[in-house]
Amino acid sequence: MEDLKRSAKTPRYVEIFEALRADIGSGVFAVGTLLPSEARLCARFNVSRFTVREALRRLQTEGMVSRTQGAGSRVLRDTPSGVFVQNYRSVSDLSQYAAETDLEVLKVEETILCADVAGRIGQSEGETWVLLRSLRRTPEAAPLAMVESYVPLRFKAIAPGLADSAGPIYAGLARAAGEEIERVDQETQALPAPYHVADALGVAEGAPVLRILRRYASKSGLLIASFNWHHGGDRYIHRTRIMLERE
């Protein structure tokens, strides 16, 4: 049992959240180890399980701990460390990024475009495209991004090989199509992680993730569109330089 000074305003679970965060930061609970079980934390702070779970939920959405039914709560990181940085402002930067990381194909399947995706990639709802789902990793095998690439149906046969070939997916496709990329643009959003993304990246469902949609177009139209789902928090920082133009 342990007593914390009780402010009149801040809820108890915030105090416990901050106490645990401080303990993690100071190394009392080392990265990679398990936190005490909920029952033990209840005893330590002398509160009910609801209060402890509320505190743990906050640690989870901060990305500091992962929680698994049956296994316990594991400390993922203590401070903003292990930052992976991507820096690009041109397609050659994109190529280099692809060359320095590994891509593992998770699934290839035909899919009917839903209204949301269709609208975002400028196609009609109900069309059939190929969805290539893959996982991009650092050389150390840490998951970096879950990539969902939408490819026209006529490329279905070669789709699985695109990830294995050297270089980025869009380059392989452009080569296969005998066309050149003419335009690339992107849309960036912060979203709560859906089930399948949370699973692939190893974050909590609903935790903040960065989604970058890149559209690669040739002269004849959209060649490929890919949603890149990245870690939220400090684990992924997206760097860009902005062009200057003198009047």
Partner DNA sequence: AAGAAAAATTTGTCTGGACAAATCTGCCTC
Partner DNA sequence: GAGGCAGATTTGTCCAGACAAATTTTTCTT
Q: Which residues bind a copy of itself (CB under 8 A)?
A: 58, 61-62, 80, 88-92, 94, 116, 181-192, 206-210, 214, 230, 232-234, 236-245, 247
Smallest gap from Cβ 137 to DNA, in A, equals 21
| Cβ distance to a copy of itself smaller for residue 7 or 33 | 7
Beta bridge partners of residue 209, listed in sequence order: 191
For strands 143-152 and 128-137, give the pairing: antiparallel
C-beta closer to DNA: residue 66 or 186? 66
- Which CB sits closer to DNA, 40 or 241? 40
Asked whether 12 and 46 are in contact (CB, 8 A), the reply is no
Q: Per rule CB under 7 A, is residue 68 in the interface with DNA?
A: yes
CA dist 190 and 69 (Å) reads 27
Pick one of a copy of itself, DNA, none as the site partner of residue 210 (Cβ within 5 to 8 A by kind).
Answer: a copy of itself
Q: Which does 220 bind (CB under 5 to 8 A by kind): a copy of itself, DNA, none?
A: none
**How far apart are alpha carbons 204 and 68 in whole angstroms?**
10
CB 21 within 8 A of CB 57: no
Q: Which is nearer to a copy of itself, 109 or 180 (CB)?
A: 180
| By CB under 7 A, residue 69 contacts DNA | yes
- Phi first, then psi, for residue 13 (nearest 5°) are -70, -25
Size of site (CB under 7 A) for DNA: 25
Contacts of 46 (CB under 8 A, 6+ apart): 1, 2, 3
Min dist. Cβ of residue 78 to DNA (A): 18
Question: Which amino acid does the sequence have at 109?
Answer: E
The two structure tokens encoding residue 37? 């079980």
List the single partner that 72 binds among a copy of itself, DNA, none, CB under 5 to 8 Å by kind: DNA
What value, to the nearest 5°, has the Cα angle with vertex 18 and ends 16 and 22? 115
Which CB atom, from 48 or from 138, has the smaller least distance to DNA? Answer: 48
Could you tell me the two tokens for 141?
């095998």
Amino acid letter for position 92: S
Which of 12, 58, 136, 235 lies at the binding interface for DNA (CB under 7 A)?
12
Closest residue by Cα to residue 192 from 177, 210, 173, 178: 210
Q: Does 35 bind DNA (CB under 7 A)?
A: yes
Q: Which is nearer to a copy of itself, 136 or 214 (CB)?
A: 214
Q: Please identify which residue in 2, 11, 126, 183 interacts with DNA, judged by CB under 7 A.
A: 11
Q: What residue ranges bind DNA (CB under 7 A)?
A: 8, 11-13, 35, 37-40, 46-51, 53-54, 56, 67-73
